[in-house]
Structure 1
Amino acid sequence: MSETLRQLTLDNTFGFLDSRVDAGQVFHPTLVSNTGRNTMLKAILDELKRSNGFVFSVAFITPSAIAMLKQALLDFRGTGTIITSTYLGFNSPAAFRELLNLVGVEVYVHPDSGAGFHAKGYIFEQDASTTAIIGSSNLTESALLRNHEWNLRFSALPDGDIVQQLGRAVQTHVDASVALTPAWIDEYASTWVPQPRESKRGSGVAESSSDDFLPTGVVVPNTMQVEALSEIQKLRDAGENRAVVISATGTGKTILSALDVRAYVPKHMLFVVHREQILDRAIEEFKRVLRAPDEDFGKFVGTRKELDRRFVFASIQSLSRLENLHAIEPGAFDYVLIDEVHRAGAASYRRLIDYLEPDFLLGMTATPERTDDFNVFELFGFNVPYEIRLQKALEADMLAPFHYYGVTDFVRDGEVIDQFSDLGRLIADERVDHLVSAIETYGHAGVPVRGLIFCSRNDEAAELSTLLNQRSVHGGRLRTLALSGKNSVEEREAAVQMLEGGDLDYIATVDIFNEGIDIPSVNQVVMLRQTLSSIVFTQQLGRGLRKAAGKDHLVVIDFIGNYDNNYLIPIALFGDSSLSKDSIRKKIIDAQEAGAIAGLSSVNFDAISRERIFASLAATKLDSMTNLKKSFVELKNRLGRPPRLIDFARFDLVDPNVIATKQKNYWRFLNKVGATDAQPTEYEGRVLTFLSGELLNGKRPHELLLLNQLLSDGEVTTGFFKSLLESHGLAHDSATIESVMRVLSLSFYTVPEIAKYGSEPIVALHDSTYSLGEKLSTAWRANFLLQSHVRDVIETGLYLSRHRYKWSGQLEVGQRYSRKDVCRLLNWESNQQGNIFGYKVDFYSNSCPIFVTYHKGDEVSESTKYEDAFLDQSSLTWFTRSKRTLASGEVKAIVENRIPLHLFAKKDDAEGTDFYYLGKAISRDARQTKMSGDGEKGLDVVTMQLGLESPIEQSLYEYFATRAPV
């Protein structure tokens, strides 16, 4: 029996006949329903990665769905066919042009017959099997990710009747269809009429976005704005007279402010902006919301000083001049609004704010974080009634979805291209060719481009524009223009109008469009420069996120060189402020696995770019004191006090484990950054170091719960503790409870660790009663600061256990653990992390963890360079230690599966000490062999296959197995 036949037989038996059968679950039938991570997009991506041919036969296709699959289709090395139709006129000419632009994919169009073409089938061919997904999902972004769908995935051998039925059905569709050509699309476009579409939310009625308003002209707040308006009003009701709103670019903060003005009904309002060209747009939006007569609106800019109007819109440059400012009574305006208020540290803003005395002052910004010492939050009394960052706004469908492509930048002679490179290198013909090729491949093919190209230098932008104007994309000559800070406001506005009017394809610039410019129609952003700041990256990305009529999605093409700071890219894309490499690495892997991130957006890297990101992440020092102090100060500014560890957790900022252990414990960190003069005693510091290093991570909540109870009650009986664990739904068997006591008594730890943690038990057990250790109890009663720090660690650890883990205290597949974590969570008698050496059979706990470092370093000796390798997502070829035979005691226990095996893996040692937990495994097909070492004779070793209970995710499998050239 072939291996494929064996797997198919077991998997189909598991799926259709008996779920108790031990199966690899690679080919098992699955209902794909868009619940949780079980999405149609993920299912298609997974199948593409393991197939050599595919056929999609689907009625409806959207450009955004094609964009989601584009990188996977570019990476696909087999043959592909897509069959679609003109049924109901759903498919737009733009969708057909995007299909025609796919490289290596044959596309056929089925005629719109009276019977109607409504197929929804996806067929994938592997070397020795066929997998199909058939059900309700069309190739649209909502059907792939959001809609409630039912699609059945099943597999069969090539000779199976169902495979032959599918083959005949496909051939019938192809025979009735015509090949997609440019001429066919032109003819279709000449008669196509856009059809009404359902809301992306699937309700049939689109929810109001920041630009939605009823036919009567009444602007209706969307869900987020309703929440924000309510919170602002609550703040006013509490007697506060100023607040700052944090709202990502494109989320309609001007509309939000106008809605609040409508609710407040001021007698005299002032709106302040930092650029004159924003005024007219702001006035238009306020007119839509307030529906007041034109004569109520006035400007204060240049020679226009219409202060007598009810709603005055002013530039800071004009208003802050002393002669202008002092001509206004301080209380003249009862409501003052300041746009882009993160600039309020400038003298002009401070002069204005200090002078005016409104009843209510509202500031608005997308980026409150500052590089100087100015604290925006303090200026507004630390009142932040509403905050919506980029990821939340995307999830709420307030912004246009984006599809990001990280593309390998052109490299000549191995030279890294950056802002310091010779101009000739930056605009070399080969690099321009590479840029044009990427634009053709990844950019919009179905609709006219409205693009921004962000360059590293102004001279690069100017020369690049000249060269691009000599090139063509999709048969049309490019039309570009370069802008810099030297261009006048009028020149910039004219260029923007040309872009929005379709007279330009791209504007090339460096940073003048980072903020303060509103170009809703921008549908493509090209980043042709090194990422030096995650904030700037987000600002430039935000230029294309505003929704606009006819705009399906934003395309972002980011050229990634071999730069040291490539790690900033995922930090910006995912909004990850944790300063934790593990967190960022996991988000990259999860995004590749899911195919999508917040809302209907996606992040894609080609193979080389992805490895460059991982290499940069491995090499950087994210948790430097400089970075940690910067994050500490930002949160301190936000709160108006030094943050606690729980604050970092709740605001989803720096990983509390990172900042708490940097100086051994958080109290010492606070002392180091000058936030407190008080210092813990030596013993207090050692206790906090134990709590921070061992329990704060929340991987098991048991110890934290017992400590929390002891700090409240003084004593706890063993019976009560068992009941407490049971009430929290946690394991409360004797092995776990004994393990908890070994940890808190410190007997679990090595001699050096016991000394490091204070040498005295944290918890004592006498006559079935727990109590605090005597020394800790004395210190606890004597020092309020110690109490606050201990409670902070406990509260934060419990929070992480609930929000980062599953509150079980058990090993969780996909999470990362150190060898010491594993010893604790498997209830070992002691910490034996220094004696595991790849694996260890522990008869005390009846467990055997196996740790695999997939890519061994060059420094690893021949006698320990084991050739462990994944065979597929469910099985791994694994080697025991050298000098072992099938007769060795530990080997026999593993080979005969007499003890549970737990498999852990990491890609290489650059990842640190933690390993991904892949789940329980079963040993099979063990055999005696030799490995390098001991001269020509070699060393005895046993090799076997380890079969996982459940297959690991495709992206994690690829992460381990792939080592692309950098």
Structure 2
Amino acid sequence: MIKLRLVTKNLLDDLKRLTAEADTIYWMTAFLMKSGVREVLPSLREAALRGADIKILTGDYLSITQPDALQLLIEEIPSAEVRMMESGGTSFHPKAYLFQSKTSATVIVGSSNLSKSALTSGIEWNLYAPSTVDTDIFETAAHEFMNLFLSPNTVQLNSGQITRYRARYDETNRKLPFSAALDPKTEVEMTFGATTQEQHVADPTAPYEVTSLEPRPAQQLALDALNETVEEGYEKALVVLATGLGKTYLAAFFAQDYPRVLFIAHREELLLQAQQSFAHVFPERTSGIYDGQQKENDADFIFASIQTLAMQHHLHRFEPTAFDLIVVDEFHHAAAPTYEKVLNHFKPKFLLGLTATPDRLDNKDVYSLCDGNEAISIHFLDAIRQNWLSPFIYYGVLDETDYSALKWRNNRYDEEELLRLQMRDSYAEAVLAAWKKHKQSRTIGFCSSVRQAVFLSEHFEQAGYCSLALHGNTDRETRAAARSMLESGQLDIIFTVDLFNEGVDIPSVDTLLFARPTESLTIFTQQIGRGLRLAAGKSHCTIIDLIGNYRNARKKYQVFTDNNELPPKISSDTFTEPTYFDFHFETAVIDLLEAMKQNEPIQQRLINAYFDLKEELGHRPTYLEYHLKANEDSRAIQQKFKTYPILLEHAGELNELETEVLKQHRDWLIEVNRTGMNKSYKMVVLKYMLSRGAANWYKPVSANEVTPFFHTYLMEKPYRRDADMADKQGLALHDYNEDKVAKLIEKMPMTKWSGTSKGLIQFETGMFTPQLDVEKEHEEILFKWMKEICEYRLHWYFERKGFKRVSHVSS
């Protein structure tokens, strides 16, 4: 029997031996050096060839990890998942090596980073723990590893991300030697842990106030929309249901017709709450938890953590057809590639995504995983209008802090730089003054970090108020006591980071204080929801928001609009609806927001979003990928660039040959992108033409040739059929007659498109002909761009046709 042992030299020998045997290989090291990667590369390469699940997590702390080491890993082992923890100045020091084969499992934890000296001759201590010593050690370690691996602070590494890190690495190592001492603030941060990662608190499942389990009004609306979506032939859908309207119960009601259901979430508390909700609706059906602690996989309903399912050896325990319905709660908490890997394994009859945050751009991963199909959106504004949630009064207060010089990366400010601005007495005094002026009785204050929460709490205590800072390392007893004290009035305010974002409710909270820049519209929306629960004696919620010149200061107001679009001017009158929500902006705030408006050139924002997405994906995004995943609205591309290849030109992304193709065919590319689409017919004709290949797609085509493809495509999915067949033209497609369909094609897309194309298309003697002369070397490029535009426009058309939204109706 292999025993627990201490490894003080030549850890490399153990790593090589275990890598040669394992089919699961998870490594986490504070930093990677090229010398270390070279030593393990042959073993990892062999493991990858036999299909091992390889995940490696490293950190950017103090910029010690070498970019060349990262590049070597992703080039030599492309199948491995390599992620980097972006520490924001927070210490990151783990060193752990996890292995599992069919017969054994091993965890090595100690001091050795991935460098040659640490693996061979350096003074290092590592504890070697095989599963024969502790049968649970691997599963426990793997669960904790995946929590970090899928943390919002990590990024999937590709060449673009490594290039961005390399610039920071070069800058840091010009100014700072590796031996730089930790300052006192860093020591405090090490004590509190990684403060920008999500912090959570357990919340008892809220009682479902019914005698017989029937859907509430909002849930019934959502159920009706989902059932229509299923009938229309969609296989995936997203439901946006404001916080407090019961997303989990909606999922349970929807599960009625599905024998086996998989419910995926990112947090244990959400799994347990979902399990209880489903048990209330279906007391006779079985359920099980599948996470780091429990592995119950033989039940009607399985509630699984994404962290566990993302491990290959767990995912493959389930057959692809094991579940009829898969429900994913709050997609945005784990990396989209991880969810894609899990969801690509399964073949359910239906995939349902749930979220409380309506902003498409901030929540882009949710939309892309559901193919952009949003079945229904019930915004918190709609819920307030129908008296399902509490009214609110919003106060926009000027924050005179200058955020303009702060570094911004991966959608957030550099934490250390931000803290230097927030940990000032003058800032704390401004926060206190705004709160005293507008507060009611029970407040949650949202901060950027644990250190800021502690700092503000101490400042409020010194001013004579009962205050407490809660964070992820606060013990459960203190959290529970704080909640009771706030409800009873013994506490005036709780300062926190992201502790109350989801699944945790204190309905009696009547004041929200935002003492942080809004970096994520998703989190901002969730935090607003913390104050909108209905409660006895509560007339409304007060929202106190300090507004400075931070990046999303204007953009955040999208969450207060019905269409998620910013109005031309932001003022108190812009959003106010008497009896529902009342807005008050200080004049200085209005002036600031107007000044910031001038600094938002949309063309540059669209290009920046392109490069951000390219970096995230590791390749040039397609037009449809931009639509589904970029942080800007793809509709603006047509307005500002006329077509996607022109955006690529302005971004400097075209090579010499691509530039020639764009120059020669610019008018045609613009025409296909801009032509009107009251129906899908034009793009369906183009889709058929493109099916003929790069050398033939632009050759003349007759309606009779297009007819079989045209009919099959539109009839294949009910949502396509229903979108375009509600009038007499569409009726010809129901009772299929080839001549009638051919005449429809001639009359509608062919005749109309040729008539509006300004000579770019000719339709004569029954032949539809793009007026194109394409050089041989240009064919593949033009063909690729045409496919992208056609794919984007069809997707956007049917997505728009399928969208449902609760109407703006007073109760």
Which structure carries more relative contact order (alpha carbon 8 Å, separation 6+)?
A: 2
Q: As a proportion of its length, which structure holds more helix?
A: 2
